[in-house]
């Protein structure tokens, strides 16, 4: 398991699985494509209220990689607000309002294929239950936050290892079909935004393809550079077919310096077709920066120096002592503020930095995953030293070099 691992536990167990499957059996909502240019995906116009099947994409595109975005966005992971099914809508609203108040603009959370398509396609036609994803999209938009979704994990019927949702899908095309349908629903002019006119549209602009595919816990039984490269290209092609303005980025890597070259060696067609690379550089503030520099060096060595990096997880747990990525509670605020500020002024082509994580249960003193959260799980509006440091770090990250506390960070090559 890689450092941090907070995002990385299985998202559903026991009764929660049953609950999702019951919902899926009762309500089946389906998308249709809403592209911004003539579509290359066959689709069926949905019946009233969005009911109807969606066929898989007919072909894979290989459009050139998009140019890096200007500037850097900042945010926080909010996955546990949705994946644990333990928060009421009112509690989710209160937490997200507190996220918005910090100045964050991005919120990263899973778009769970296993929840959205619990049943296999029939005659090649996919049927989706969008209730889980709709809740996330609506809650984030209502609080002025842009969703950075991770498309994971494998639907039960598609698992290459039965019973293992972290095993890759048997067919890349089935995952790509979900990517296309997700894009059509939540991208620019997506059906979700058109069917919810009371919301200010906050379309998805970047999609992370899987989570930590170089970690055997999340690509079971073991990482496979070729297998992931093929999945990435299939998903990116499907997304581009629906909305070519959306960036499909490589899912958060724990060891980009070795896994990226392996991907490129296995599938040379990747060159020129990667919109971004997400990384998870857990460690001390100095280690985080060193890992970002290492990832940039790996891209430069492969002739891909213009590809942007996305730091989609970094953070620390405050318990128990001795756990991986443990820091004492009194030290964590300083680490948060310092790391965010330095990432904001690091000349390494970082497009986004996203802390792990906003809130966690704080129940089990022996479980490190319960103590990564920086907000009070019961009263987010009250604030904590960690949330105050997060907000201060964001302000320093975007401040001019001459005015920010601590001065300029070292350059990427330093």
Q: Domain boundaries in the chain?
A: 14-398
CB 336 within 8 A of CB 393: yes
Task: Give the closest residue to 109 by CA, choosing from 143, 142, 75, 86.
Answer: 75
The CATH H-level superfamily of 14-398 is Glycosidases (3.20.20.80)
Is residue 330 pLDDT above 50, yes or no? Answer: yes
pLDDT at position 406: 53
pLDDT tens string 217-269: 999 999 999 999 999 999 999 999 999 999 999 999 999 999 999 999 999 99
pLDDT tens string 44-71: 223 223 334 444 444 456 789 999 999 9
Task: Give the closest residue to 156 by CA, choosing from 112, 119, 130, 110.
Answer: 119
pTM: 0.87
Give every CB contact of residue 310 below 8 A, 6+ residues apart in sequence: 206, 208, 249, 252, 276, 277, 278, 279, 350, 351, 352, 354
pLDDT at position 409: 52
> What is the share, in percent, of the chain residues with pLDDT greater than 90?
80
pLDDT at position 407: 55
Is residue 20 pLDDT above 90, yes or no? Answer: no
pLDDT tens string 63-98: 899 999 999 999 999 999 999 999 999 999 999 999
Is residue 2 pLDDT above 80, yes or no? Answer: no
Is residue 5 pLDDT above 50, yes or no? Answer: no
Long-range Cβ pairs for the range 373-381 (8 Å, 24+): 373/80, 374/76, 374/315, 374/332, 374/336, 375/95, 375/98, 375/99, 380/94, 380/95, 380/97, 380/98, 381/94, 381/97, 381/98
pLDDT at position 27: 30
pLDDT at position 11: 39
Which helix or strand (DSSP H or E) is residue 75 part of?
Answer: strand 73-77
Q: Is 43 helix (H, G, I), strand (E, B) or coil?
A: coil
Rounded to whole angstroms, the Cα distance separating 372 from 317 reads 4
Least confident of 44-48, 316-320, 409-413: 44-48
Q: Which backbone phi and psi does 195 adopt, to 5 degrees?
A: -90, 0
* N-terminal to C-terminal alpha carbon distance within the chain: 29
Q: How far is CA 212 from the centre of its chain?
A: 10
Is residue 37 pLDDT above 60, yes or no? Answer: no
CB 241 within 8 A of CB 39: yes
What is the token pair recorded at 184? Answer: 């059509």
Secondary-structure breakdown of the chain: helix, strand, coil percentages, each rounded to the nearest 5: 40, 15, 50
| Antiparallel, parallel or unpaired: β 125-126 and 146-152 | unpaired
Rounded to whole angstroms, the Cα distance separating 69 from 115 reads 31
pLDDT at position 134: 98
Task: Give the closest residue to 204 by CA, choosing from 177, 186, 185.
Answer: 186
Neighbours of 304 (CB within 10 A): 18
What is the token pair recorded at 166? Answer: 């972290």
pLDDT at position 62: 78
Is residue 402 pLDDT above 50, yes or no? Answer: yes
Q: What does the DSSP assignment read for 231-279?
A: HHHHHHHHHHHH-TTSEEEEEEES-HHHHHHHHHHH-GGGTT----EEE
pLDDT at position 400: 84
Q: Is 288 helix (H, G, I), strand (E, B) or coil?
A: helix
In this prediction, residues 377-402 reach a mean pLDDT of 92
pLDDT tens string 273-312: 999 999 999 999 999 999 999 999 999 999 999 999 999 9
pLDDT at position 295: 97
pLDDT at position 26: 31
């Amino acid at each position: 398991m890689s450092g941090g691992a907070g995002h990385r536990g299985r998202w559903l167990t026991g009764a929660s699985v049953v609950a999702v499957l019951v919902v899926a059996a009762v309500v089946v909502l389906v998308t249709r494509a809403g592209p911004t240019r003539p579509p290359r995906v066959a689709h069926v116009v949905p019946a009233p209220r969005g009911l109807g099947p969606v066929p898989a994409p007919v072909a894979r595109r290989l459009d050139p990689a998009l140019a890096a975005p200007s500037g850097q966005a900042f945010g926080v992971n909010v996955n546990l607000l949705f994946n644990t099914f333990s928060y009421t809508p009112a509690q989710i609203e209160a937490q997200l309002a507190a996220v918005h108040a910090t100045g964050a603009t991005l919120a990263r959370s899973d778009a769970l294929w296993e929840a959205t398509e619990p049943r296999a396609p029939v005659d090649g036609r996919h049927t989706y239950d969008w209730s889980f994803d709709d809740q996330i999209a609506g809650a984030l938009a209502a609080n002025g936050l842009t969703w950075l979704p991770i498309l994971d994990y494998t639907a039960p019927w598609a698992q290459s290892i039965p019973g293992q949702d972290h095993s890759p899908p048997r067919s890349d095309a089935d995952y790509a079909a979900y990517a296309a349908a997700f894009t059509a629903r939540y991208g620019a002019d997506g059906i979700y935004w058109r069917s919810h006119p009371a919301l200010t549209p906050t379309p998805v602009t970047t999609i992370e393809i899987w989570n930590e595919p170089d970690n055997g816990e999340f690509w079971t039984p073991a990482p496979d550079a070729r297998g992931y490269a093929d999945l990435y290209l299939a998903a990116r092609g499907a997304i581009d077919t629906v909305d070519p303005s959306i960036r499909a980025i490589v899912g958060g890597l724990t060891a980009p310096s070795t896994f990226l070259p392996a991907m490129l060696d296995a599938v040379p067609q990747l060159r020129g077709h990667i919109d971004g690379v997400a990384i998870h550089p857990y460690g001390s503030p100095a280690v985080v920066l060193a890992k970002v520099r290492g990832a940039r060096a790996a891209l430069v060595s492969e002739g891909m120096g213009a590809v942007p990096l996305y730091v989609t997880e970094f953070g620390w747990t405050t318990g128990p002592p001795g756990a991986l990525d443990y820091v004492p509670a009194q030290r964590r605020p300083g680490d948060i503020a310092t790391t965010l500020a330095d990432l904001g002024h690091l000349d390494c082509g970082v497009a986004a930095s996203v802390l792990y994580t906003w809130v966690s249960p704080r129940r089990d003193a022996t479980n490190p995953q319960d103590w990564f959260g920086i907000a009070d799980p019961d009263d987010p509006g009250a604030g904590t030293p960690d949330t105050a440091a997060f907000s201060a770090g964001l302000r320093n990250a975007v401040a001019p070099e001459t005015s920010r506390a601590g001065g300029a960070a070292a350059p990427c090559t330093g």
